[in-house]
Homo-oligomer: A and B are copies of this chain.
Amino acid sequence: MSPADMPQARGERRKRSDARRNAQTLLDAAAAVFARAGIDAPVRDIAAEAGVGMGTVYRHFPTRPDLVVAVFRHQVDALAATPAGASGENPENPYEALRSWVARFTDFLVTKHGLPEALHSDQAGLESLHAEFVDRLVPVLDRLLRACVDAGRIRADVRPLDLMIAIGNLCIGADTFPGYRARHMVDVLLAGLLHHAPAPTDADRPRTPTAP
Binding site for B on A (CB under 8 A): 37-38, 89-90, 93, 95-96, 99-100, 103, 117, 119-122, 130, 152-153, 155, 157-159, 161-163, 165-166, 169-173, 176-177, 179-181, 183-185, 187-201, 204-205, 208, 210-212
Give chain B residues whose Cβ lies under 8 Å from the Cβ of A205: 93, 95-96, 153
Q: Which residues of B contact A95 (CB under 8 A)?
A: 201, 204-205, 208
Complex contact B120–A211 (CB within 8 A) = no
> Could you name 10 residue pairs across A and B whose Cβ atoms are closer than 8 Å?
A120-B173, A120-B176, A159-B181, A161-B177, A162-B181, A169-B170, A194-B196, A194-B201, A196-B199, A197-B200
* Other-chain residue from B96, B117, B153 in contact with A120 (beta carbon distance below 8 A): B117
Task: State the 7 A-B residue pairs at the shortest beta-carbon distance, nearest first.
Answer: A192-B192, A191-B192, A188-B192, A100-B211, A197-B199, A166-B185, A169-B169
Looking at A183, A184, A185, A193, the one whose CB has the most chain B CB atoms below 10 A away is A185
CB distance from A130 to the nearest CB of B (A): 8
Determine the chain B residues whose CB is within 8 A of the CB of A198 once the complex forms. Answer: 200
**CB pair A193 B199 closer than 8 Å:** no
| Number of copies of this protein chain within its complex | 4
**CB <8 Å contact, A93 and B189:** no
> Of B161, B170, B183, B190, which is within 8 A of A170 by CB?
B170
Contact in complex: B192, A189 (CB < 8 Å):
yes
**In the complex, how many angstroms separate the beta carbon of A128 from the nearest chain B beta carbon?**
14
On whether A184 and B162 interact (CB within 8 A), knowing A95-B204, A122-B37, the answer reads: yes
Q: Is the CB of B199 within 8 A of A212?
A: no
Contact present for A103 and B157 (CB under 8 Å) = no
- Which residue of chain B lies nearest to A172 when distances are taken between CB atoms in the complex? B169
A121–B172 CA distance with the chains assembled, in angstroms: 11
Residue contact A187 to B212, C-beta cutoff 8 Å: yes
Distance in Å from the Cβ of A181 to the closest Cβ of chain B? 5
Q: Is the CB–CB distance between A96 and B208 below 8 Å?
A: yes
Does the CB pair A119–B176 fall under 8 Å? yes
Report B-chain residues with C-beta under 8 Å of the C-beta of A163. Answer: 185
